[in-house]
């Protein structure tokens, strides 16, 4: 099964193949924002893939278009609701500062975590 680690908090979880990064984050309790609910209509689930990008689904046109709206997009940027973990192996992502901010905006009670 694929394994994913969420930085900067170091939260790690094993998930079934086909799970999106966003679904894995929700399962693990990682602080990843998702303003549109995971339907590729915003860019608040922006993450940086540090390791294991080969184990992720290909980027499609919708993801590309919405990534263009994100802040500080890099070559290893992905939208967590669109990128699926496909293969066994370990993936390490860093949740973008804007995505963490969205998470706290959505969950004000968790601001001090």
CA angle 29, 35, 39 (to 5 degrees): 95
Cβ within 8 Å of residue 109, ≥6 positions away: none
Does 45 bind ligand FES (CB under 6 A)? Our answer is yes
Does 21 bind ligand FES (CB under 6 A)? Our answer is no
Report the residue number, 45 or 85, with the smaller CB distance to ligand FES: 45
What is the C-alpha to C-alpha distance for residues 75 and 5, in angstroms, rounded to an integer? 19
Does 57 bind ligand FES (CB under 6 A)? Our answer is no
Report the residue number, 74 or 88, with the smaller CB distance to ligand FES: 74
Does 96 bind ligand FES (CB under 6 A)? Our answer is no
Work out the end-to-end distance of the chain between its first and last CA atoms, rounded to an integer number of angstroms.
Answer: 29
Report the residue number, 15 or 43, with the smaller CB distance to ligand FES: 43
CA angle 34, 37, 41 (to 5 degrees): 85
Whether 47 contacts 95, CB under 8 Å:
yes
Does 98 bind ligand FES (CB under 6 A)? Our answer is no
Does 59 bind ligand FES (CB under 6 A)? Our answer is no
Residues near ligand FES (CB under 6 A) are: 34-36, 38, 40-45, 66, 79, 81
């Amino acid at each position: 099964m694929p394994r994913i680690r969420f930085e900067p908090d170091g939260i790690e979880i094993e998930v079934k193949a086909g799970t999106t990064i966003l679904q894995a984050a929700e399962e693990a309790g990682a602080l990843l924002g998702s303003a549109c609910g995971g339907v590729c209509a915003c860019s608040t689930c922006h993450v940086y893939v540090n390791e294991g990008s080969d184990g992720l689904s290909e980027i499609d046109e919708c993801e590309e278009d919405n990534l263009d709206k994100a802040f500080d997009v890099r070559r290893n940027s992905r939208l967590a609701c669109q990128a699926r973990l496909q293969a066994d192996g370990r993936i390490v992502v860093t949740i973008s500062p804007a995505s963490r901010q969205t998470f706290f905006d959505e969950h004000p009670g968790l601001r001090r975590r």
